[in-house]
């Protein structure tokens, strides 16, 4: 099976525990890693190729520096990685990114499966992979929590989708695009040897012209007007006393405000 995984870069929020300043996260120099959701997509692809043969390509739209993040994907086991970087993509919205991915996928074809994560933790829009499927007119199976059967010969797979109020079992023909949720697997850690090998790998970078797009085709439809700091922090009232006293006081306060 030839599988393309859609990956992106994200700020490493584990480095910032205790320091909850989102604007600091945005600042340049904040450590950036493989978007956590995409690790599950990559792991899904790697397991499928281990079972059925084939190759995994990690595809990313991002700045030149994101090449380093693609090395993580290679170290995990992806056979090749491709970066799409162009100045016209600096303010890309989800549709512009989806158009770019769709064009790059066209250049990487043929493929059996495209797998993306649920969302990027940064913008948390969760739409790019879905829109990529729509643009490519590919069958879409989103929020996959488990793969029940994968039959490369019959070119079908069945999957369990995790929706708000139900789990849905669906069958799709291949090629198709999947997005996966965390429940699907436990992503592997790269070994030292793999990390060393990935450091030396050549990662091609394509610009818009390489994939047959113009800047006008990826002009963003939405613009970010302002970034406001989130609403002020709560004012903490510490409730003291024995567990029974504290519990009684808390229940009284919550009742008074009609919260319970």
Partner 1 sequence: MSHTIFVWIEPTHGAVDPIAWEALAAARSVAGERPVVGLLPGPAEQPAAAEAIQRGADRVLLIDEPALPQLQTEPFAAAVVQLMQNHPPAVLIVGATAAGLELAAVVAARLGVGLATNCTALSFDGDQLVATRPALAGNVIAAVSGPQVVTLRRRALEAQPLDAARSGPIEALPPLSAAIEAAVRIIGTEPADHQVSLANARVIVAGGRGVGGPAGFEPLQALAQELGGAVGASRAAVDAGWIPYAHQVGQTGQVVQPELYIACGISGSIQHLAGMKTAKTIVAINTDPAAPIFKYAHYGIVGDLFEVVPALTEAIKQRSG
Tokens of 98: 């989806």
3-state secondary structure of 140: strand
Smallest distance, Å, CB 205 to partner 1? 25
Residue 96: enclosing H or E segment and its boundaries? helix 94-108
Smallest distance, Å, CB 150 to partner 1? 15
Among positions 60-119, residues that touch partner 1 (CB under 8 A) are 93-95, 98
Q: Is 168 in the site for partner 1 (CB under 8 A)?
A: yes
Between CA 173 and CA 167 the distance in angstroms is: 20
Partnered with residue 10 across adjacent β-strands are: 33
Q: CB–CB of 70/60 below 8 Å?
A: yes
Conformation bin of residue 39: beta by default, left when phi > 0, alpha when psi is -120 to 50: alpha
Taking the least distance from each CB to partner 1, the nearer of 162 and 203 is: 162
Among positions 187-226, residues that touch partner 1 (CB under 8 A) are 220-226
Smallest distance, Å, CB 182 to partner 1? 5
3-state secondary structure of 239: coil
Partnered with residue 205 across adjacent β-strands are: 83
Among 67, 69, 100, 142, indicate the residue that binds partner 1 (CB under 8 A): 142
Distance linking the first and last C-alpha atoms of the chain:
54
Taking the least distance from each CB to partner 1, the nearer of 65 and 91 is: 91
Smallest distance, Å, CB 229 to partner 1? 7
Quick one: CA dihedral 26, 32, 34, 36, positive or negative?
negative
Among positions 28-57, residues that touch partner 1 (CB under 8 A) are 36-37
Please identify, among the stretches 68-76, 194-202, 206-214, 245-253, the one whose residues bind partner 1 according to the rule CB under 8 A: 245-253
Taking the least distance from each CB to partner 1, the nearer of 139 and 152 is: 139
Taking the least distance from each CB to partner 1, the nearer of 49 and 178 is: 178
């Amino acid at each position: 099976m030839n599988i393309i995984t859609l990956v992106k870069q994200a700020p490493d929020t584990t480095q910032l525990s205790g320091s909850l300043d989102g604007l600091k996260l945005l600042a340049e120099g904040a450590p950036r890693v493989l978007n956590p959701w995409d690790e599950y997509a990559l792991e899904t692809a790697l397991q499928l190729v281990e079972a059925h043969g084939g190759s995994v390509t990690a595809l990313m739209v991002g700045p030149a520096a994101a090449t380093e993040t693609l090395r993580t994907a290679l170290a995990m086991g992806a056979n090749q990685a491709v970066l799409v970087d162009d100045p016209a993509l600096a303010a890309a919205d989800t549709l512009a990114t989806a158009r770019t991915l769709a064009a790059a996928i066209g250049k990487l074809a043929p493929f059996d499966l495209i797998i993306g994560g649920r969302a990027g933790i940064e913008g948390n829009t969760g739409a790019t992979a879905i829109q990529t499927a729509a643009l490519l007119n590919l069958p879409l199976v989103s929020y996959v929590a488990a793969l029940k059967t994968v039959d490369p010969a019959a070119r079908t797979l069945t999957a369990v989708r995790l929706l708000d109020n139900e789990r849905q079992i669906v069958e799709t023909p291949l090629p198709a695009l999947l997005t996966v949720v965390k429940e699907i697997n436990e992503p592997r850690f790269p070994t030292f040897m793999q990390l060393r090998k990935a450091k030396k790998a050549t990662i091609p970078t394509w610009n818009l012209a390489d994939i047959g797009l113009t800047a006008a085709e990826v002009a963003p439809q939405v613009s970010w007007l302002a970034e406001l700091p989130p609403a002020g922090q709560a004012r903490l009232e510490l409730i003291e006393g024995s567990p029974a006293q504290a519990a009684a006081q808390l229940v009284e306060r919550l009742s008074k405000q009609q919260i319970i």
